[in-house]
Structure 1
Amino acid sequence: MSQPDMQPGGPARGDRGEAPRRDLAGRPFPLGDWGEPAERLDELYRWVEAGALRTAQWYLVDRLWKRRAARALRIGTALGVIAGAVLPLLEVTGVRDGTSRWGYLSLLLGAACLACDRYFGLTSGWIRNVATAQAVQRKLLGLQFDWASECVREVLGPAEGTASEATERCLGVLRRFTEDVAELVRAETADWMVEFGSGPAPLVMQSTGAAPGRGVEGHPSGRVPLPPGARPNMPRQRPPEAPR
């Protein structure tokens, strides 16, 4: 971006009367005249920061009902197991007759509560939501420190490079942060799909973002990694010739 009045992808769409681009949450992408790059960068930073805060808030809100339901089912499991162990003892010791069948029913209800928790993924779901929200918050904290460092460098005067290079560094910081947050969300979604029996095979292609027959960017071999336990097909080699 050598020209300060040029915007990535061409001139501002608002100048041409076209609708602004929006993200999945419906927030318009900040567009404007890049003749004032400092203002545009500040708008873009606030847009990225607001998106990260909204993502973390969504996971924190989504965990509330899952945590309450999971705790209720866990309490039901514990009560069912305790009642299933105590009621038969009452009949064995002669304290009260006919309690064994109620003990079996309690064990059945406890097992049903545990099965519902496992089937609907409530405990694992709210724990996964907490972990993802904390990871997004850690990334956001790192972004804030990196952005403060770039701002201090700009105020004190760039030690190296030009203003356009400083703008490109700021855009690189924002882009890496956005990609990191998107990767966290993708990984959480992949774990959720695996938990509900989607199978690991389609997730390999989804996680790497490669199409069949194409290499994987960032992988050392440039290929899609093989699943655990699979053996690669080695090319046949000619046997060494005998020395003459």
Structure 2
Amino acid sequence: MQPEGADGADRLAPLYARAEAEALRTAEWYLAARVGKRRAARLLRCGALLGAAGGAVLPLLGIDGRWGCLSLLAAAACVACDRYLGLTSGWMRDVATAQAVRRRLETLRYDWAAESIRDGGEEEAAERRLGVLRRFSEDVTELVRVETADWMREFGPCGTTVADPARTPAAPPGPPPRRPRFPGEPQPGMRPTMPRQRPPETA
């Protein structure tokens, strides 16, 4: 005996399958994108370690100090390339986003299974399942948006930071203007006025 609302679940099954497939593709895309970044980041970090080691060891071996300076310069260049291209931070963001999407997908599966055994009418069950799918799609979209915003802040034009309106805090209100303690006292920021004098009377 099927629970009430099973027909509605059958009609929503294609929508659930599409949402699940899109989430899996998103997670796989991020995992595939991090492979090349991780390899390049490891090469640059190895180059930085070798350059730093060469800069410290070459002078001890009696080799011309210019080679040690060049080795240190190469190490600094490797570190700068990694930071400028965002390789290490990029593949770490990709892994974190893929894991977050997969965790949200597991939550969707449990929520969907829980909704399938709840009592209620067919229309009510369909509305609950639609709400579960809508929240899941919004959460996945938000995860991708946050990762994209982080990428934009890291690769802003000319190294500047791209502000995210959703994360930019509002400026705190300034202090209220000080009220004068005595009548006739000038307001802050205003020039004091001199009292007008009567001209001397002529005899």
| TM-score between both structures, scaled by the size of structure 2 | 0.78
Task: Identify unmatched segments of 5+ residues in structure 1.
Answer: 1-35, 92-96, 209-223, 240-244
Quick one: which amino acid aligns to residue 162 of structure 1?
A: G
Q: Which is higher, the Rg of structure 1 or of structure 2?
A: 2
State the partner residue of 1:68: 39
State the partner residue of 2:91: 126
Quick one: which amino acid aligns to residue 180 of structure 1?
A: D
- Corresponding position: 1:170 with 2:111: no
Task: Identify unmatched segments of 5+ residues in structure 2.
Answer: 1-6, 181-203
Cα deviation for residue 196 of structure 1 reads: 1.6
State the partner residue of 2:172: 231
- Corresponding position: 1:57 with 2:22: no
State the partner residue of 1:135: 100
Q: How many residues align?
A: 171
Cα deviation for residue 57 of structure 1 reads: 0.4
Change (3 A) 1:110 1:235: same
List structure 1 segments (4+ residues) > 6 angstroms apart after TM superposition.
234-239
Cα deviation for residue 52 of structure 1 reads: 0.4
Q: Percent identity?
A: 62
Within 5 Å, give how 1:1-244 maps onto structure 2: 37-91=8-62, 97-98=63-64, 100-153=65-118, 158=119, 161-197=120-156, 199-201=161-163, 203-204=164-165, 207=166, 225-226=169-170, 230-232=171-173
Cα deviation for residue 40 of structure 1 reads: 2.5
| TM-score between both structures, scaled by the size of structure 1 | 0.65
Bigger share in helix = 2
State the partner residue of 1:30: none
